[in-house]
Structure 1
Amino acid sequence: MKRTALKIGYIGTNFHGFQRQPDLRTVEEELIYHLRKLGYIDDLKKSRFRIAGRTDAGVHSLGNVISFQSEKEVRVNEINNSLPDDIQILAKAPVRFGFKPRYAEMRQYRYMLFREDLDFDKLNEVAEIFKGTHNFTNFTKRFQKTTTRTISDIKINKVELEDFHKKEFPNLHDTISPIFVDIYGESFLWNMVRKMMRVFVDVGLGKMDLDRVEELLNPEENAPRANIKVLEPDYLILMDIVYDGIKFTYDDYACRRFKKELVNNLTNLQRDYAIKESIIKSLNDLH
């Protein structure tokens, strides 16, 4: 019996999060159903099925990880042929029997900001404050044993739309170029990234000063938890999870297949954009 780790890509739009929930479509439920259907696992306890982490409804992934034990040799594209198009296995790695995907060396999250009114210099200044080890009790909804976490790096980039996108979708030149905020750390609390991003936006808009950010990261003992509203999950991507000594092998065909699904989604969005743009134009022409 071999133990295998799989790296999962999914578009979170049509999922009610990763974790299994009664009568709701989730990423974990889809994975378990199809792994059972194909004979890779039967009893979850015996197969020691484990996950790296849960993502909320609407959050996307290029690098979430699951692991399990199976007598059957894992064939990535056999599983992908069974899975729905909005969830695909992108890579696999053989792992030791004691491997627990929850304990990672590094996680990378990316949040995309679609705003033109943010002070880019201020975003970089607040990033410097968040780097390092802090008490993130104000940045989670749950009460946990420890809320101390370490942010190893934050990279902020304004991304211009790629030329091939402009060629394929000519109307995209009218859209706002996104700001990518990439956050790296060993582990994150529930809602932590999305609450962090609310602070980034408030500082970038001049609604919050840097001293207040320092206060949020160093709350006084027994102080009431700050009410930081989370930003939308739709613009959050779990980009990657890295483990010490484990190298994932990406499947070229699986990656091309997932990319094709994303391009098809873009095409549908472009058609929807064109229809609504036409209706708006017609309404403007009425008066």
Structure 2
Amino acid sequence: MNLAFRFSYFGDRFFGSQMQPLLRTVEGEFIAACKRLDLFDDWREANFVTAGRTDRGVHARGQVCSFQTDRVDRAIGVLNQVLPADIWCTAWAGVSDEFHPRYSAASRTYRYYFSPAPGDVVAMHEAAQEFVGRHDFSSFSRAGDRNPERSILAARVFEDGPFAVFEVTGESFLWNMVRCMATALERVGRGKAGAREITRLLTGPAEQRLPAAPPEGLVLWDIGYAVSFTPLPIDEKSRRYLVDRHRYHILMTEVSTLLAPGEELPE
């Protein structure tokens, strides 16, 4: 049977999502857990694939993978117990053999978290609307040989506690595209640029690519499919890990309010 799993992870302890020899990666840990449960012997023969890659430090709330296995009940019932604490499955679905996590996706949503908020969140939201539609994102990505045009379906910036959050939904994205968009919006929030600057970069001749914002703020938030997923309970070890991360975040946020302007938290 071909199974699809929606899963989450914190990316700061991984060398990205894609498998790499001798390095801890999300795919490597996920495949290792599947092998320990005898869900498959060879990930290639099982057609294990994910919806896309995330860079080192990037997190995911709604990553998706699929693979074939005869041990369906074991995969659904036990996989979360075997995965490490910083990866956990949130839902599953039985899918057709033609399903592919990457090519079957109708849309992808990312969120970039700015902490603290750069300043004028209203101006950032208004500027983010310039991204909506189909544009050439050469100045906002590392397109390489790929078509630099992408269609953005929705974009917004809003406040969430100490964060300003940039949420963007598109049919697909280029490498570093969301992080470069975040850089442009941060400049708007700090009063160093306006919406016209974004329009110029989207419509004018390709210029030098904007620098990408730090990966730690980026979250692969959701991927849209014509598939109904069944929710899964979070394993207790992952739940404790989430609680500890939440407490740490609150502590660091409180400490950061005591810093002088320009002073940074110690490593």
Judge same fold: TM > 0.5, yes or no: yes
Report the Cα distance in structure 2 between the residues aligned to 1:273 and 1:182, rounded to whole angstroms.
21
1:192 to 177, 184, 191: 177
Report the aligned-residue RMSD.
2.5
Alpha-carbon distance change, 4 to 210 in structure 1, aligned in 2, over 3 angstroms: same
Report the Cα distance in structure 1 between the residues aligned to 2:129 and 2:247, rounded to whole angstroms.
38
Structure 2 match to 1:118 = 119
Give the conservation status (yes or no) of the 8 Å contact 1:216–1:226. Answer: no
TM-score (norm 1): 0.82
Deviation at 1:271, TM superposition (A): 6.7
User: Structure 1 regions of 5+ residues with no counterpart?
Assistant: 161-176, 279-287
What SS does the corresponding residue of 2:234 show, helix, strand or coil? helix
Deviation at 1:207, TM superposition (A): 1.5
1:214 and 2:199 are equivalent in the alignment:
yes
User: Structure 2 regions of 5+ residues with no counterpart?
Assistant: 259-267
Amino acid of the structure 2 residue aligned with 1:7 = R
Instruction: Please give the residue correspondences for 1:1-287 in structure 2 after superposition, counting only pairs within 5 Å.
Output: 2-74=1-73, 75-103=75-103, 104-160=105-161, 177-220=162-205, 225-244=207-226, 246-251=227-232, 253-254=233-234, 258-268=238-248
Give the conservation status (yes or no) of the 8 Å contact 2:113–2:217. Answer: yes
Deviation at 1:56, TM superposition (A): 0.8
Structure 2 match to 1:165 = none
TM-score (norm 2): 0.88
Amino acid of the structure 1 residue aligned with 2:49 = R
Deviation at 1:142, TM superposition (A): 3.9
Alpha-carbon distance change, 205 to 70 in structure 1, aligned in 2, over 3 angstroms: same
Deviation at 1:211, TM superposition (A): 2.5
Deviation at 1:188, TM superposition (A): 0.8
Structure 2 match to 1:282 = none
What SS does the corresponding residue of 2:124 show, helix, strand or coil? helix
Deviation at 1:276, TM superposition (A): 10
Aligned residues: 257
More helix by share: 1
Structure 1 match to 2:261 = none
Larger radius of gyration: 1
What SS does the corresponding residue of 1:35 show, helix, strand or coil? helix
Amino acid of the structure 1 residue aligned with 2:4 = A
Give the conservation status (yes or no) of the 8 Å contact 1:108–1:240. Answer: yes
Give the conservation status (yes or no) of the 8 Å contact 1:77–1:254. Answer: no
Identity fraction in percent: 34
Amino acid of the structure 2 residue aligned with 1:130 = F
Report the Cα distance in structure 1 between the residues aligned to 2:237 and 2:176, rounded to whole angstroms.
31
